[in-house]
Structure 1
Amino acid sequence: MYDNQYVNNDSRGPVTGQAQNQEDAELDIRALVLVLWRRKWIIVNTTVFLLVLSALVVFQLTPRYTAQAMLAIETRQNSYVDLEAVMSGVGTDQAAIKTEIDVLQSRRLVGKLVDSLALVEDPEFNRSLDTKRSLISYLNPLSYMSEAWKTAILGSTASTQSDEERAMAVRAKVIDSVSAALKVSNPPRSYTLHVSFESTSPKKSARLANELASIYLTDQLEVKFEATQRANEWLNERVSQLREKVRLSEQAAQRFREENQLVQTQSAGLVNEQQLAQINTQLVTARTELARIEARQGQIEQNVQNGSIEQSGLIEVLQSPLIQRLKEQESEIQRRRAELSTRYGPKHPTMQKIEAELADIKTKISLEVDKIVAGIRGEAEVAAIRVRALESNLEGLKRESFTVSRAQVQMRELDREAEANRLLLQTFLTRFKETSSQDGMQQADARIISEADVPTSASFPKKSLILMLVVFVGLILGVGLAFLLEALDNGYRSFDQLRQDLHLRALGMIPLVKKSVLQDGKPEDYIASKPNSSFAEAHRNVHASLMFSGSDGSTPKVLAVTSSIPGEGKSTATLCLAQILGRTGLKVLVVEADLRRPVFRQRMGISKEKHISLNMVLSGQAQGSGKTVYKDEKTGIHMLWAELTEDPQERFTSPEFRHFLSEARKQYDLVLLDTPPIMAVSDAMLISKYAESVMYVVQWEATPKGIVRSAVKQLSQTGVPIAGAVLTQVNLKRHRGYGYGDQGYYYGGKSNYYTN
């Protein structure tokens, strides 16, 4: 039963860091488990309270049922003819699917559902038609007032809205209620839409889901039909405008063509352009011909100057039939002259006649050559005149072409405008015909793949799940509350807390003796009547711990007993410890050193007239008074009681007090000084200076830790060694439930060692 936990750690040998860390971890886990065990009823009560409260709420809730219809967005569209639709199908990206979800949840579509099923007349969605009062309505004091009182308190609430405005406001509220019951979702990586409705009626929830899906598909067709109809009307109007525009542009082009005489053949372009091309071609040809003729003329002129025109070899000369005949005649005459020259002489008449014929022939040839040369010269003059005429015509056509070109620029602009209008008209006319043919070919972009069935079980509230969650939350909250209370706990319950917080040695733990056990007696009477009780054994354990608590390892002879505040059981512990030691045969003197609130005389029934008080000893009145020191006949202990004194510090600092303690050490085995509380007065600090050691008393669980820490800090400033601390008034039943595993655990158990 000794406090073996205070054996010197050096005797244990070296402890490895890993073993120490493992031990700390085990202690931490064990500490957490002990906290939960100590506060188990907090956890249980919190959980049960929340469970009962939630059960009351859950079973009062109106069950709601959820029905779900499934839609699939069509990723493929049937195309009967290769025509482009006015409205394209729904996209398959996430944004497009989100848009369709918003359409399903839109107030316009929900409004159609409200009108289709006349939900304005349904009390579930129109709260004004619900005559049932909720539990909260009974808590509203206005519900118990008459209309006159409401008007007097709140003022007039007369509405200025018309019937139509009130109906619209009611419809808007119904739409809000229906929208709150609607849920549309899209599973990941899927083109399906889940349309869910929650209602108090299973059939109604299924009917709402199916009706909204049907309205959604119909709305898609209506939207496409309206878009096609609007497109047809716009295209029809646009085609009429374009027809008029084409007519006006073609008339403007024709009028400009006539005003500027822009005559155009079917394939060769404008007449002016054709003439200019022809004249230019003729001029080139004429210039070429003129150059050729001038070249021949120059050659002939050169031959004429040289007199060799006949031998020039001109083609005209060579090809002239007359010259050819004259040449033949000349050749014949020269032949005859050659024949006759062999017979006749030059002056012979025959020869002279031949010469005259030859000369006549040459003359004729010369005349004919001259005619040819004159003809070539005339031809050159004609060619030159023709070139000049063509050049003159070309210049005139060029000037005219410039004017035509300027007009043609504007003409081409008018033609382009007319052509563009014709193309635009053709495009719009074709598109108009395509859209007109789509009136009966519209398809919805989604389809119903699963209609909503009537649910057989309520979707809300999930009673089992809610209660399980409440139990879980209750446990979590209870555990949190347990740790919070543990953190806010401001008292000492175990030796470990004393060691960790105050660095004090634990001397022992004194159980609380209930009043029913004392039976109007005192604890010191109980310890005298029950020397083998756990209460008595606890004081023996304190003495055993004090045996080696001196500064040099010896048992202190003068021991001061103090506490932080009054009521911690300091005086009771002193008296009981003295009685236990007195029974062992030790000479024990108990000194009541609390001169401000003395209680020993009345408590022990000491006679003031027969027995000496501490005041008499310190004042020197004890000698010769005829009085004796009080002695308890049962235990043999001696006791100096005290009287109330105005200035006790003067007595404790006097030489008489020091002389008294010196003599007491010689005559007694142990002197117990019952001092006042540290935080109440400073007497204990003065008295402790004359003691060999101090036993510090702490009331189990009751004394705040901050006060104890402050008191111990003040006491430690005196330099007197504190032997240790004693936990008093320990509730053994509660302490044992905390599972500390110390002396209190065994004291509270059923043991054959104790007779309680």
Structure 2
Amino acid sequence: MLQDARSVASRSSQEAEIAGPASPEFIDFDRLLAAVRRQWRLVAVLGLIGLLLGIAYVMTAVPRYTASSNLLIDQGSNRIVDELSTSGGSIEDESGILSQVELLKSDQIGNKVIDALHLTSDESFMHSSVSLLRRVKLAVVSVVDISSWFRAPEEEADDEAEKRLTALALLGNDLDVARVGRSYVLSISYTSPDPVMAARVAQAFANAYLADQLDSKYEATRRASSWLQQRIDELRQKSLETDLAVQRFRAEKGLIAADGRLVSDQQLTELNSQLTLAQADVATARAKMDRIQSLLESGDTNSVVNDALASTVINELRTKYLDAAKRQAEISNRLGNDHAQAVRLRAEMENYKQLMFSELGRIAESYRSDLQVAQAREAAVQRSVADATSVSAGANETQVQLRELEREAETYRNLYQTFLQRYQEAVQQQSFPITEARVITDAQVPTAPSKPRKPLVLAISLFIGLAAGSALGAFREFRDRFFRTGDQVREELGLAYLGSVPHVKDKALAIPTQKAGTGTEASDRYLRANNAVARYVLDHPLSSFAETLRSAKIAADLAISHQKKIIGVISVLPSEGKSMISANLAELIASHGSSAILIDGDIRNPGLTRAVARHATAGLLEAVMDERPLKDCILVDPETKLALVPAVVKHRVPHTADLLSSVNMTTLLDEASNAFDYVVLDLPPLGPVVDVRAIAPRIDAFIFVVEWGKTARRVVRSTLAANPQIAEKTLGVILNKVDTEKMKLYRDFGSDEYYTSRYSSYYHQGK
């Protein structure tokens, strides 16, 4: 049975799985349009209110006129003053143009306009331009200025100063200065109730700006000339001081120069050249010495040096040696090597050879002497270079300070020349300062008012009203956290949606006449409905009200496998209409031919008993507590034979949960289920009491009643989450007290509510 109940409760999730996952949408247009349908009246009303306020403002607003004058910032003008400034003063970028806009709005220009037009003495300007809103603003500013509270009377500004401040405030409020596009043109606009005053003030601002530019240029040139004169005197003195410092330093350190170079540097250069020559001479002498030494060691008569070739002695000996060698070779060839003449010739050749090498030894000694002389000269030059280098190094260290002094002297000399030249230019230009701006459009007296702009005011008023209505409507939609549709029931609770019951007003229904019994005692055993809603399904069997209860009955028949069924009707909060649902469900079951008994289990607040059995003298409490027979506590509907066990509360019962879970209550339910096919219990709400949890194990299934548009989704969801045993046995949810007209506004495409108009022909309010 529980598995069947779970299958019925999860029917919505199964249907969602069959339909497939819904594709996510960035904007749900169906819900958006539904929200518009629900809130359009509110948006329309607030839009209409905004439009009416705009019309009222347009009808009562004082017309105001705007005059304009245009200024051109001329980029072709002379900029002598700007050249005198190291930071530059030309207006060449956007920030420069915006700076001129702020200058036009400044108090300096405003004071010149006030003086030019004598505005402080113009009563029409001082009073007619002050609106009620501005007066309030000025009053608030004066109150916020805390320093004025403690100002002594003698420190108060005089009347003229106060008027000037007021005039400045009025000018600032109505003045508008703007750049025309990306050009160098500034538009000066002034708005006033008097068109002539508007033109005069706009033109006065342009003229005051030009005059201020001339004055500022002249003053800047004059100040620049004065400053340059002082600076030139300082630079002249500094230039002289630095030149003298350079000369003194040279004299003190002995830094004597010739042809732009220090004498010590010139000497070092010459000694380096001599050292190079000495090193070359040493290398040459050493090479000659090494060569002749190698000849002496080799004993080769064919090897020679330059000095040997120049020696006559060596040449003669070599000639004799060669002649002896020639004759020795001829004799040896003819007479043999051992011939006496050949032996004598070889002895002569050896003698000649020794004589030649003796002469080479004398030449080697001369080479050795030359090498020693060259080395001695090289050493002397090296010592001189070392001495000169030390002198030059000291001079170089001193020259670092000298160069610093020279750079400082050169810097002051250049600055002096530059400032002297600019001073001459400034003196020449001081007599005719020029301005970078000129008026290109004079202010004309306007012929038509510029404010208020009636179409714009009406459009803005309408837009503000619609925006306020939309915001309020969106807030109402956001705050709408109640159950409105069956899809919300399935999504939020995961339970089946059994249907909706329209809201039925008692005053619109006539209480039906009960069938009379045979006597007074018999009449007391019948139901006496003093609330026509309790019998609505009998009076309107073909209505959507009755169809929803049939859906609940079928859900119970499908979910509960055994024939005898105990059904509990519950809600989260009181006054959601569960008692009327219980009564009508029981009447519907009885009218279909099944035996049914209705038990009012809400002992603390027996609303069902008050609606249909106010005259009862015994009921559930007597049957459970006093163990009275069930038949003595039953009232019967003479038309449908529905049995009712009322709850006659004569005194407060504090332990109602224990009473409903007691053995006697179980016995009563067993007796009722044996005698009837259906047992319907009108149980207390889940939220305030625990009675339902106490009796839940004895109930086969629950029908959950939720008041449409009143009960928050969160409280229902949290209550079911806290009572899983009840949630598992819940067949589904009935939305009660539905406003059918408003329900149309919550229908989405494809939902049950969307097709209400198509199957409404199946429902009839009459029998």
TM-score, with length taken from structure 2: 0.61
Q: CA deviation at 1:560?
A: 0.8
1:658 aligned to 2:666? yes
Contact 1:556–1:693 (CA under 8 A) maintained in structure 2 = no
The match for 1:66 is: 66
Q: Equivalent of 1:637, from 632, 642, 654?
A: 642
Q: CA deviation at 1:178?
A: 1.5
Change (3 A) 1:26 1:630: farther
The match for 1:522 is: 532
Q: CA deviation at 1:13?
A: 7.9
Between the aligned partners of 1:155 and 1:429, the Cα distance in structure 2 is 53
Between the aligned partners of 2:592 and 2:422, the Cα distance in structure 1 is 129
Q: CA deviation at 1:561?
A: 0.9
Between the aligned partners of 1:457 and 1:538, the Cα distance in structure 2 is 70
The match for 1:464 is: 455
Contact 2:68–2:443 (CA under 8 A) maintained in structure 1 = yes
Contact 1:678–1:715 (CA under 8 A) maintained in structure 2 = no
Between the aligned partners of 1:26 and 1:735, the Cα distance in structure 2 is 25
Change (3 A) 1:199 1:637: same
Contact 2:8–2:559 (CA under 8 A) maintained in structure 1 = no
Between the aligned partners of 1:496 and 1:168, the Cα distance in structure 2 is 73
What amino acid sits opposite 1:449 in the alignment?
A: I
Q: CA deviation at 1:564?
A: 1.5
1:703 aligned to 2:697? no
Between the aligned partners of 2:17 and 2:229, the Cα distance in structure 1 is 107
1:180 aligned to 2:167? no
The match for 1:116 is: 116
Change (3 A) 1:720 1:658: farther
Contact 1:195–1:213 (CA under 8 A) maintained in structure 2 = yes
Contact 2:633–2:645 (CA under 8 A) maintained in structure 1 = no
Q: CA deviation at 1:750?
A: 6.7
Q: Equivalent of 2:475, from 484, 504, 515?
A: 484
The match for 1:351 is: none
Change (3 A) 1:157 1:444: closer
- Residues 664-704 of structure 1: per-residue CA shift (max 9 Å, x gap): 33332211011111223222212221011111111112223
What amino acid sits opposite 1:541 in the alignment?
A: S
Q: CA deviation at 1:608?
A: 4.3
Change (3 A) 1:490 1:445: closer
1:755 aligned to 2:765? yes
Change (3 A) 1:749 1:39: farther
Q: Equivalent of 1:160, from 154, 162, 178?
A: 154
Q: CA deviation at 1:436?
A: 7.0
What amino acid sits opposite 1:539 in the alignment?
A: L
TM-score, with length taken from structure 1: 0.62
The match for 1:409 is: none
Q: CA deviation at 1:438?
A: 7.6
- Residues 484-507 of structure 1: per-residue CA shift (max 9 Å, x gap): 222223422222222222222211
Change (3 A) 1:202 1:64: same
Q: CA deviation at 1:223?
A: 5.1
Computing the radius of gyration over CA atoms, which structure comes out larger, 1 or 2?
A: 1
Q: CA deviation at 1:724?
A: 1.2
Q: CA deviation at 1:9?
A: 6.5
Change (3 A) 1:25 1:471: same
Q: CA deviation at 1:631?
A: 2.0
- 1:209-608 maps to which residues of 2 (within 5 A)? 209-222=202-215, 431=424, 439=431, 443-519=434-510, 521-550=531-560, 557-605=565-613, 608=616
What amino acid sits opposite 1:614 in the alignment?
A: L
Between the aligned partners of 2:130 and 2:422, the Cα distance in structure 1 is 63
Q: CA deviation at 1:723?
A: 0.9
- Residues 709-751 of structure 1: per-residue CA shift (max 9 Å, x gap): 3432343245751111111111212222333553597389974
Between the aligned partners of 1:655 and 1:76, the Cα distance in structure 2 is 110
Q: CA deviation at 1:626?
A: 8.0
Q: CA deviation at 1:71?
A: 1.5
Q: Secondary structure at the match of 1:56?
A: helix
What amino acid sits opposite 1:527 in the alignment?
A: V
Bigger relative CO (Cα 8 Å, ≥ 6 apart): 2
Q: CA deviation at 1:627?
A: 3.6
Change (3 A) 1:158 1:126: farther
The match for 2:522 is: none
The match for 1:371 is: none
The match for 1:201 is: 194
The match for 2:521 is: none
Change (3 A) 1:606 1:69: closer
Between the aligned partners of 2:668 and 2:422, the Cα distance in structure 1 is 133
Q: Secondary structure at the match of 1:594?
A: coil
Contact 2:564–2:677 (CA under 8 A) maintained in structure 1 = no
- 1:13-52 maps to which residues of 2 (within 5 A)? 20-22=21-23, 24-25=24-25, 28-52=28-52
Contact 1:66–1:197 (CA under 8 A) maintained in structure 2 = yes
The match for 2:379 is: none
Change (3 A) 1:27 1:177: closer
Between the aligned partners of 1:202 and 1:221, the Cα distance in structure 2 is 29
Q: Secondary structure at the match of 2:735?
A: strand
Contact 1:556–1:692 (CA under 8 A) maintained in structure 2 = no
The match for 1:693 is: 701
Between the aligned partners of 2:204 and 2:635, the Cα distance in structure 1 is 103
Gap regions ≥5 residues in structure 2: 1-6, 140-147, 238-412, 512-530
Contact 1:511–1:744 (CA under 8 A) maintained in structure 2 = no
Change (3 A) 1:607 1:233: closer
Gap regions ≥5 residues in structure 1: 141-153, 246-419
Q: CA deviation at 1:584?
A: 1.2
Between the aligned partners of 2:580 and 2:598, the Cα distance in structure 1 is 12
Contact 1:86–1:227 (CA under 8 A) maintained in structure 2 = no
Q: CA deviation at 1:660?
A: 3.0
Q: CA deviation at 1:527?
A: 3.4
Using the aligned pairs only, state the percent identity. Answer: 26
Aligned CA-pair RMSD: 4.7
Between the aligned partners of 1:503 and 1:236, the Cα distance in structure 2 is 94
Contact 1:238–1:428 (CA under 8 A) maintained in structure 2 = no
Change (3 A) 1:613 1:64: same
Bigger fraction of residues in helix: 2
Contact 2:195–2:446 (CA under 8 A) maintained in structure 1 = yes
Change (3 A) 1:449 1:161: same
Contact 1:569–1:729 (CA under 8 A) maintained in structure 2 = yes
The match for 2:307 is: none
The match for 1:742 is: 752
1:713 aligned to 2:707? no
Between the aligned partners of 2:691 and 2:82, the Cα distance in structure 1 is 107
What amino acid sits opposite 1:499 in the alignment?
A: R
